[in-house]
Chain A
Amino acid sequence: MAYISNTNEDRAEMLSAMGFTSFDALLAPLPPAIRYQGELNIPTALDEGGVLRRLQQLAAKNVDLESHLCFLGAGIYDHFRPVVVGMLAVRGEFATAYTPYQPEVSQGTLQAIYEYQTLICGLTNMDISNASMYDGATGLAEAALMATSILNRGDIVVSGAVNPLYRQVIQTYANVTGYRVVEVPTAEGVTDTERLSEIVNSQTACVVFQQPNFFGNLEDVETLTETAHKAGALAISAVDPISLGLLKPPGDYGVDIVLGEGQSLGNAMGFGGPLLGFFACNKRFVRSFPGRIVGATQDSQGRRGYTMTLRTREQDIRREKATSNICTNQALLALCATIYLCELGKTGLRHVADLSLQKAHYAFQQLCAIEGVKPLFPNAKFFKEFALSLPVSPSELNTSLLQSKIVGGLDLGAYYPEFAGSSLFCVTETKTKAGIDALVSATEGVVKGGKA
């Protein structure tokens, strides 16, 4: 039988050592009424070749983005993954280890997490980072809940320019705890800071925004942070880690909690999972922080070593009084992010960010030259994503683009009814000028064809 090492003789010897003659004796604790007598409605075992063929057959039913050009972003990004990342992370010594509860035999994982924490702090210019959260959305929800518990206030104020999927997750978490989620309207593709200052009050636990925001635009982060702080609330920012190759880190403008989706840092898009939530904050919140944290210490002979620390915040010790229920997190994806950031390094990450910036602006300018295509937010500054108002329906455009092996932008109308007819495009460093030109000419073809 698959992956079973015992032979029939082994089993017989083992049962006999226990004084039993058949396996059924071990089922004695199960009341007969709930012993499953049937056959599970699951296929019979396939051989390895058969399994591979079945999975390849399913995979072949999908349009993969190695064979197609992808201009979709909205939280998951087609950035280049250096080969070395996957090659190292697949090592069984990393992949088949458990959470490092036994530090003496887990120094590899522990040191990698310590390096990861350092790199996240470096990217964000924050004091402390945890070992990871499930994804950007739950990281944001946890950050908001952390603010409510630190300040004992019940309102979570969220910019309407935060990823709508993230806002749905915050709402789900808030519903069960009775916290109120208050949305701040946007104006010209960014958070309306005037409306924000009217909304915040002594019940505001936090002001949540995203930089660059869901539309790809740069927010006035200084004003947003200041407005939160004036109301005595915490400022929470979701950030695109790649953008931090160029953009000012959140620590520089005084944000209290920073989080984001770390998929871009060397992890597969994977149809949206598994993902990597990174999470960093100011050191005064170290005791209210969710998740695992690794610290450096010494062994009994004075040698440097690493161990999970501040454990008394956690569920297995504090149970219902824990700062969060999180246990298993995203260690292997955090490892990939660590390897990615080391491999790219100081110049490489800047280069990824700059190339994405350049190519996105080239694509923007070329697309806007098509008659009828207009920037949705003409006054906004953007990083690698931009919204365009289109003279054809975004979904029809996308269907046509597929013929040219292009996966087009996101139909914004699905998330913002007021922006129906607009698409959100994303251009990363993986797109060549030729690829962008192909998008532009295919789009132009559809636009002109649609008018004819």
Chain B
Amino acid sequence: MSKDTREPLIFDVSRPGRVAANLLPKCDVPYQSPSELLGAESLREKLPLPEVSELDVVRHFTHLSQRNYSIDAGFYPLGSCTMKYNPKINEKTAGLPGFAALHPLQPQETVQGALELIYELQKMLAEICGMKATTLQPSAGAHGELLAMMMVQAYHAERGDTQRNIVVIPDSAHGTNPASAARCGFKVKGIPSNEKGCTDLAGLEKALEGGNVAALMLTNPNTVGLFESDIQQICQMVHDAGGLVYCDGANMNAMLGLTRPGDMGFDVMHFNLHKTFSTPHGGGGPGCGAVSVQANLEPYLPVPTVEKEGDTFRWKFDNSKSVGKVHSFYGAFLIAVRAYTYILSLGKEGLRSASENALINANYIRARLADYYDVAYNAPICMHEVVFSANRQKREGDVRAMDISKRLMDYGFHPPTNYFPLIVPEALMIEPTETESKQTIDSFIEAMIAIAKETQENPEIVRTAPHTTLVSRLDETMAVKNLDLRYAPLFEE
């Protein structure tokens, strides 16, 4: 049974003297000894890299790819991650030499098309969220949060409001929110959610007392998948207390063309282009955490900003109020190319349709599974994702959210997000996205129902799942106890 199906490490495949291909030219300039040019004391002796053929490389990485689940292979309802289809045309446009083969420090007159794309995309994102200006510099959502908190701090500092050292964050928030605020030197004050799973206004009121609050960080729709219906009042309360309101835009896929954070009263937000705008996640990046701001925060945007003068685009580096730079250059340009391609493909009507279908798919799952799993908060309607609790399964069959997630793998699906948000015990957070069909969603629902039945009839099969994957559950404790973070034999004398 315990057949060893592992793919050897590339280091195991390596053989002394083997080379891949004729990749490099012969030296066509007079050869000088490296030890003379650099000094013998500067040179290395060992270079522990593999020695493999190109066929070895192709087979190895093809085998590795086959050991992954992916959107291209199946349904990936990972809540909060918006695993929608990543259109192939995006890869084609991002690979055009006129984008991919540009050096960031080329003269500006030689990159006018790139600057135009950045300018256009920034405007489009600002329009979509109802704000004034956008930067594409942050590399990921958490990076956008960090930048936003830097701007919040600069805003208060300019007003002499340096006592504002608190950022208020609901207990349902993504972990990056408190981590980003803390990275900026803010103290984090948590507020509990109310019985509806939304922001508790009384709790917020109390947290705002004292005049030390710099900002509220809020996810809307929140991480329970519910729209914060009191959002205007929430923003008003924070503004009245002298603070700013930040929108974690991880859930923007619920709102395209339907409602805009800027109109709700938010001062600043981040987008995840790698969620809402279909750029591939790449197994953990690259992303782009574009940040949009209202006019009040525009002066603090990172440099350089791009400006249009007549038909010419140019970088503007001098801006005395800017927080500075948060990226080596201008952010993940090739991700911006993909997102821009996507927006042109969908158009305004397609963007709205994307959110509509995302809402329909999520609510359909919610309606069809409500008899089998506890809906986390009993609101009549969810937004683009639905959160269940496996409390009932835990009680009835000692089956936990983790077990259900693993069992879904046996049915051919990627699991939902589990154990998040932290306020929902045994959370299962399901985000189907708009690109999945009713057929696919129905078969996922059937699997979830089958697992619910298994927890009553044969809970052991769920508790010990997965049974069909290349490896079964991994020993996380052993991974921490006996840290093995690199292939040791490579480093032995």
Contacts and interface: CB of A to CB of B under 8 A. Distances in A.
Contact of B469 (A54, A105, A122, A317): A105
A34 B259 contact: yes
Contacts of A355: 24-25, 27
A273 B335 contact: yes
B474 A103 contact: yes
A324 B280 contact: no
Contacts of B96: 55-56, 59
- In the complex, which of the residues B18, B128, B335, B479 has the most CB atoms of chain A within 10 Å of its own CB atom? B479
Given A23-B356, A274-B335, A296-B479, 11 more contacts: A94-B68, A104-B471, A123-B47, A298-B474, A299-B472, A303-B6, A316-B175, A318-B179, A321-B182, A354-B34, A402-B107
Contacts of B331: 273
- In the complex, which of the residues B20, B130, B141, B232 has the most CB atoms of chain A within 10 Å of its own CB atom? B20
A26 B381 contact: yes
25 contacts: A3-B345, A4-B353, A5-B437, A36-B257, A36-B263, A42-B347, A42-B351, A75-B328, A84-B54, A91-B61, A94-B70, A100-B284, A104-B466, A104-B472, A114-B487, A115-B9, A295-B484, A301-B1, A328-B140, A329-B284, A343-B23, A343-B52, A350-B47, A361-B29, A381-B39
B486 A91 contact: no
Interface string A43-64: 1111010111011111111111
Contact of A246 (B44, B49, B340): B44
Contact of B72 (A92, A135, A138, A358): A92
Contact of B360 (A23, A171, A326, A342): A23
B97 A66 contact: yes
Contact of A55 (B4, B86, B337): B337
A119 B491 CA distance: 11
B329 A43 contact: no
Nearest to B478: A297
Contacts of A166: 328
B480 A310 contact: yes
A354 B274 CA distance: 38
A32 B174 CA distance: 28
B104 A272 contact: yes
Contacts of A333: 282, 285-286
Contacts of A62: 98-99, 102, 110-114
A98 B32 CA distance: 47
- In the complex, which of the residues A91, A96, A295, A332 has the most CB atoms of chain B within 10 Å of its own CB atom? A96
Contacts of B29: 358-359, 361-362, 433, 436
A91 B475 CA distance: 29
A297 B2 contact: no
9 closest Cβ pairs, A-B complex? A59-B98, A272-B104, A272-B329, A45-B347, A332-B282, A61-B113, A92-B72, A172-B324, A331-B284
B430 interface: no
A398 B109 CA distance: 12
Categorize the interface residue count of chain A: 35 or more
Interface stretch (B183-191, B290-298, B447-455): B183-191
A91 B232 contact: no
B202 interface: no
B259 A88 contact: no
Contact of A342 (B57, B347, B464): B57
Interface string A431-442: 011001000000
Contacts of B280: 92, 95-96, 332
- In the complex, which of the residues A2, A112, A121, A129 has the most CB atoms of chain B within 10 Å of its own CB atom? A2
Given A62-B102, A99-B283, A42 B128 contact: yes
B103 A76 contact: yes
A111 B283 contact: no
A43 B344 CA distance: 7
Interface string B86-116: 1101011101111111111111001111101
Contact of A34 (B98, B174, B181, B264): B264
Given A270-B99, A298-B474, A326-B142, A118 B283 contact: no
A102 B145 contact: no
A18 B105 CA distance: 55
B105 A105 contact: no
Interface string B258-302: 111001100000001010001011111111100000000000001
Contact of B357 (A11, A41, A121, A175): A11
Interface stretch (A198-206, A286-294, A444-452): A286-294
B491 A322 contact: no
Contacts of A342: 10, 20, 49-50, 52, 56-57, 60
Contacts of B461: none
Given A1-B349, A62-B98, A103-B474, A292 B284 contact: yes
A275 B19 CA distance: 27
B406 interface: yes
A6 B432 CA distance: 12
Interface string B469-493: 1111111101110111111001100
Contact of B43 (A78, A102, A246, A309): A246
Interface in A7-39: 10-11, 13-15, 17-19, 23, 25-31, 33-36, 39
A327 B4 contact: no
Contact of A432 (B25, B44, B325): B25
Interface string B60-78: 1111111111111100101
Nearest to A410: B105
A390 interface: no
B491 A121 contact: yes
Contacts of A97: 68-71, 281-283
Given A15-B360, A76-B103, A303-B2, A40 B257 contact: yes
